[in-house]
Amino acid sequence: MAHAAPASGVRTRTPSARSRTPDVFSERTHRAAAWATPVALGLVYGYWVAANNRSGGPITGWNLLLGFVSALVFAALWRGIHALAPRMRREVHALLWTAFAGCAFGFLYSEAGAAVLRSVGMSLAVSAGVFVTLFYRFYTHEDAAGNRIR
Structural domain harbouring 63 = 28-87
- Of 87, 107, 130, at which residue does a domain stop? 87
Tell me: do 101 and 130 sit in the same domain.
yes
79 and 54, same structural domain? yes
pLDDT value, residue 103: 95
Contacts 24+ apart (CB under 8 A), 82-91: 82/34, 82/38, 86/148, 89/146, 90/135, 90/138, 90/139, 90/142, 90/146, 91/135
61-84 and 90-110 helices, crossing angle to 10°: 170
Within-domain flag for 46: yes
Query: Is residue 108 domain-resident?
Result: yes
Within a domain: 42: yes
The secondary element (H helix, E strand) that includes residue 123 is helix 116-140
Q: Rounded to whole angstroms, how far apart are CA atoms 97 and 137?
A: 12
Mean pLDDT of 118-129: 95
Residue 2, in any domain of the structure: no
Residues 61 and 35 in one domain: yes
pLDDT at 139 exceeding the cut of 80: yes
How far is the C-alpha of 69 from the C-alpha of 50, rounded, in Å? 10
Same domain, 95 and 122: yes
Of 44, 62, 87, the position where a domain reaches its end is: 87
Query: Residue 34 half-sphere exposure, CB side, CA atoms within 13 Å?
Result: 11
Domain presence at residue 22: no
What one-character-per-residue DSSP string does 67-119 give?
A: HHHHHHHHHHHHHHHHHHGGGS-HHHHHHHHHHHHHHHHHHHHHTTT--HHHH
pTM given for the model = 0.76
Query: Is the confidence at residue 26, as pLDDT, over 90?
Result: no
108 with 81, same domain?
no
For 84-95, the pLDDT digits (tens) are: 987 888 888 889
Is 21 within a domain? no
Count of structural domains within the chain = 2
Contacts of 95 (CB under 8 A, 6+ apart): 131
Look at residue 137 and tell me if it is in a domain: yes
Average pLDDT rounded to a whole number, residues 129-134: 94
